[in-house]
Structure 1
Amino acid sequence: MGSGQVTDWQGKNVTVAGLGVSGIPAAKVLRGLGAKVTVVNDGDDTRARAQAEELEALGIAVRLGDGATLPEGTELIVTTPGWKPDKPLFAAAEQAGVPVWGDVELAWRLRGPDAAPWLAVTGTNGKTTTVQMLASILQAAGLRTAAVGNIGVSLLDAVLGEEQYDVLAVELSSYQLHWAPSLRAHSAAVLNIAPDHLDWHGSMEAYAADKGRIYEGNRVACVYNVADKATEDLVREADVEEGCRAIGFTLGTPAPSQLGVVEGILVDRAFVENRQKNAQELAEVSDVNPPAPHNIANALAAAALARAYGVPPKAVRDGLRAFTPDAHRIAHVADVDGVAYVDDSKATNTHAAEASLAAYESIVWIAGGLAKGAVFEELVAKSAKRLRGAVLIGADRGLIREALARHAPEVPVVDLDRTDTGAMPAAVQEAQRLARPGDTVLLAPACASMDMFANYNQRGDAFAEAVRGLGAGA
């Protein structure tokens, strides 16, 4: 199981770790290729049993409630991204000399000889939006493409399905990159790096190193964020193919080999003739939806990857105009009594919340949830001057309350000592009480949602419903 393609899966003993979103398709694909597949799973509940039954009908062995033991004869482990690297199963694999791949690595190895190249995106925040913008730009250029990976079409489906692609826009998480040693993208971008998922990676250094793997072996461009030196450092450390270029994106005026913004216009000084003197206009800031600063940065990163692939300037503009963001990403819900209500439930960490808070002048901030090991001092210190008030909900709201007391003592804070789903209508009512005409009530929790909701979508829906309730009562 070296780094080359595995052509003969017949009879290979493969263990799939986890029944997750990627585990089940991986098990089915491997079984279809003739491998002897065993799925191991920590949980043993009703849902897991139903999934196990479905897989067993296909001739796949399933062990529930025992994710720690390495099945006898295992030649390869394919893991779902959620499994932490410190799991006993992986220690046992290392001892036995058994390689561990993620679903991305499996998809990469299963590509055919004429497979579509990958334009890959990672970063703490903005990955999904950037990949969707990129796919929209590639489509505008008449290319057959899809947004795949952590979103949309599964990578295994994209690689093995009937559909023929010219190029793929691939979103990759740090988890997926950790388990994808032989991935080599055409071009790749790291949008930003902020502390996140440290409980999984163990340290900030390990997290950044996994993000940086996306640049390994790039052929044309390593795209980095000029405002985030950590991303440029990763480019410097990467082992790339001869001729591959470092391309920066900036919200300021671009230097040669960068994309940036000049007087409201997105310009390219990287993929032009004589880049010392020339710049190519790509689009207007108003073509980006919504034109918040962090979203313009996403658009520039997407444009850089598209231009690295040879897409003409007009397609960048047309693709950005055609793009509509997903729900719960700085989505304007309603105006009530001169106050704007904005749902950015997707801001599940401090870095995303900081970008969201920077987009408005005067804010009543609804925040809180599961902190995932995050600290809130810097976020609150940077955003304090914009805060009219704060309403806190969720399990770890105390951490945000303490940061507010230290860095924004004059800001009124309502601590709703609640983690039930009914807390959201109460939070919106409190926010309405604190807000003045011209303010924005912003749900940007800076935390995960699972203490109170199934996911950030449900949290955003609850916020929007509560806001609509205000309008009805007005």
Structure 2
Amino acid sequence: MGSGQVTDSSAPFDFQGKHVTVAGLGVSGVPAAKVLHGLGARVTVVNDGDDERARTQAAELETLGVTVRLGDGATLPEGTELIVTAPGWKPDKPLFTAAHEAGVPVWGDVELAWRLRGRDGRKAAPWLAVTGTNGKTTTVRMLASILKAAGLRTAAVGNIGVSLLDAVTGDEEYDVLAVELSSYQLHWAPSLRAHSAAVLNLAPDHLDWHGSMEAYAADKGRIYEGNRVACVYNVADKATEDLVREADVEEGCRAVGFTLGSPAPSQLGVVEGLLVDRAFVEDRQKNAQELAEVSDVDPPAPHNIANALAAAALARSFGVPAAAVRDGLRAFTPDAHRIAHVADVDGVAYVDDSKATNTHAAEASLAAYESIVWIAGGLAKGATFDELVAGAAKRLRGAVLIGADRALIREALARHAPEVPVVDLDRTDTGAMLQAVQEAQRLARPGDTVLLAPACASMDMFTNYNKRGDAFAQAVRELGA
């Protein structure tokens, strides 16, 4: 971990009269265009799509005086001095190639928010930032709950809750922000300098966007650059510690680990059913501070306890007392579709983890139960399933496969769990979920868990993972009717 005074490159930027191109309409593009227009910039929005939703958004912006070009996201508008891009736009798009050749900087919405904080003499709230392949949203929401329990004015922002731009430009003032950041957002946020940050885990994901695992990890690691107080890493995932070692941080910033085992000095961990802190205590060689009980974490699955420890570490880095960690975790309610118990039917538990959209998330979900009928499949996004299936094989009572790329999982099951009965549903319509649940019921025995942990994205069959989880829950309710 490099240390020394880190230069903050986020110097004030005068937007008045500047020609700024916003790449992409949608969740981040429209607010960015409005904010930039309000700062006096001459704004042009370019967008690949030209559908009804895009035309509605374009009409709204054009009434403000913003220029919008639909169906042409590849050409750099003449005179562009800055691009602000939606996070999902891939770095290899022709627009960015042209920008690079013209010497035009490219920011994401997170970079824009970082540059705008503290303008007009307002207090710039510090950021406690979280990234990782899985668990980001849960950890950030846990962190916000803990900070609120400590009496701090805060919000969960970034990919969730309040938009970052609203948080830094709105009327409400915050003491600290709990910030969820994706690899996409970090790629386009070169100036970000958090108070403290955590990388929860690293596993192959979005490789089609980043191009390689090395590039994906490097973008995740950007979250540690310039950290002031703590770089929080996962002791069980060496890749996260490696990112800390490679980061250039401010003098005095510490590496703080979290572990499901007994913590060493400068770590948080678990001892006899308690979450304990040996990082933010006096004489951490000898002392530990009890923070909460494992039973205060909902649900107390191993990966969720890890999320709670990471949230606690970030909160403690900000000086939050132990009692607030306990109270915040007790007050926290998990989002839907995250290892959510739907119902028990004939002695079988039905659990919705539709949010497990990649193999890493599914691995954590499968590890939480002893005997499982697994419902899986969807869009694989380039993933392979051998390691996942080999690790879970001894827990599987059966498997029911749905979705476009189910053959990849079926083949992995044949290789690593040939004795496990598999039902392969050759359909990708939304009604397939009812049949999948019925087949899972047929395979299950009392004491088993029927687990929807698809290890795949949902868009081949459903609008999003929420709709997929809702379909599962409805099918379970029909079983018990």
Partners of 1:403 and 1:90 lie apart in 2 by 39
2:248 is paired with a residue whose SS is coil
Structure 1: runs of 5+ lacking an equivalent: none
CA distance in 1 between partners of 2:27 and 2:379 (Å): 22
The answer to whether the 8 A contact 1:13-1:76 is kept is yes
Q: Deviations over 1:310-341 (max 9, x none)?
A: 00000000000000000000000000000000
Distance 1:395 1:82 in 2: 23
Aligned equivalent of 1:320: 329
For the structure 1 residues 74 and 2, does the alpha-carbon distance in structure 2 shift closer, same or farther, using more than 3 Å as the test?
Answer: farther
The number of residues matched between the two structures is 472
SS in 2 for 1:274: coil
**TM-score, scaled relative to structure 2:** 0.96
Superposition deviation, residue 3 in structure 1: 20
Change (3 A) 1:5 1:154: farther
Q: Assess if the C-alpha contact under 8 Å between 1:223 and 1:247 holds in 2.
A: yes
Identify the match of residue 111 of structure 1 among 89, 112, 117: 117
CA deviations over 1:254-285 (Å, ceiling 9, x no partner): 00000000000000000000000000000000
CA contact (8 A) 2:3 2:249 kept: no
Superposed CA offset, 1:4-60 (max 9, x none): 999921110000000121001000100011100000001111111111111111101
Contact 1:5 1:110 in 2 (8 A): no
Secondary structure at the aligned position of 1:189 is classed as: strand
SS in 1 for 2:290: strand
Distance 1:217 1:47 in 2: 39
Q: Secondary structure at the match of 1:106?
A: helix
3-state DSSP class of the match of 2:119?
coil
| C-alpha displacement of 1:455 | 0.3
Tell me how far 1:113 sits from its aligned partner: 5.8
Do the aligned partners of residues 2 and 386 (structure 1) sit closer, same or farther apart at CA in structure 2, a change above 3 Å counting?
Answer: closer
Residues in 2 aligned to 1:43 and 1:412: alpha-carbon distance in whole angstroms: 44
2:375 corresponds to which of 363, 366, 371:
366
Are the aligned partners of 2:5 and 2:249 in contact in 1 as well (CA < 8 Å)? Answer: no
Residue by residue, what CA displacement relative to the aligned partner does 1:425-447 show, whole Å, maximum 9, x if unpaired?
Answer: 00000000000000000000000
Asked if structure 2 preserves the Cα contact closer than 8 Å seen for 1:342 and 1:443, the reply is yes
Which residue in the other structure is 1:230 paired with?
239
Q: CA deviation at 1:174?
A: 0.3
Distance across 2 between alignment mates of 1:162 and 1:430: 53
Shift of 1:353: 0.3
Question: What is the aligned partner in structure 1 of residue 411 from structure 2?
Answer: 402
* 2:82 is equivalent to residue 76 of structure 1: yes
- Please give the secondary structure, in 1, of the residue aligned with 2:179: strand
* Superposed structure 1 runs of 4+ greater than 3 Å apart: 1-7
Is the 1:4–1:109 Cα contact (8 Å) retained in structure 2? no
1:58-94 deviation per Cα after TM superposition (whole angstroms, max 9, x unaligned)? 1010111110000000000000011001100000000
Aligned residue in 1 for 2:93: 87
Asked whether the equivalents of residues 393 and 419 of structure 1 are also in contact (C-alpha less than 8 Å), the reply is yes
**Which digits, 9 at most, give the CA deviation of each residue in 1:236-261, with x for residues without a partner?**
00000000000000000000000000
Give the CA deviation at 1:2.
23
> Contact (CA 8 Å) 2:3, 2:253: kept in 1 or not?
no
1:449/1:455 contact within 8 Å kept: yes
In the other structure, the counterpart of 1:55 is 61
Q: Is the 8 A contact 2:129 2:223 kept in 1?
A: yes
Secondary structure in 1 matching 2:447? coil
**Contact 1:331 1:342 (8 Å CA) reproduced:** yes
Contact 1:137 1:306 in 2 (8 A): yes
Contact 1:40 1:66 in 2 (8 A): yes
**Residues of 2 paired with 1:4 and 1:438: CA distance?**
56
Instruction: Please list every run of 5 or more consecutive structure 2 residues that lacks an aligned counterpart in the other structure.
Output: 8-13
Q: Sequence identity, in percent?
A: 91
